[in-house]
Amino acid sequence: MNKPTKIILGSQSPRRYEILADAGFEIEVIKPKVEERFPFDLAYSKVPEYLSKLKMHDIYSFVGDDSDYIICADTVVLFEKNS
């Protein structure tokens, strides 16, 4: 598999950009135009995947091409306060 020379990054994360740039990729940053909402009953462990897919589909709908590499990511942080 050939390494792509250009990646569309669906994230404004400076760290994600840095990782890809350091790996030698040309990066085009595009902010997805989606509301980051998810179903209330969705397991927390599935939220990042759900939101990432929403972002990817949004970007692909207006710039995608089957030869484009689009990377979208999301993070969930859980905090539990112990008494």
- Catalytic one of 22, 65, 68, 74: 74
Whole-number Å distance between alpha carbons of 6 and 69? 7
Strand pairing partners for 71? 9
Does the annotation mark 74 as catalytic? yes
Asked if 20 and 7 count as a contact pair (C-beta separation under 8 A), the reply is yes
Q: Are strands 6-9 and 26-29 parallel, antiparallel or unpaired?
A: parallel
Residues with active-site annotation = 74
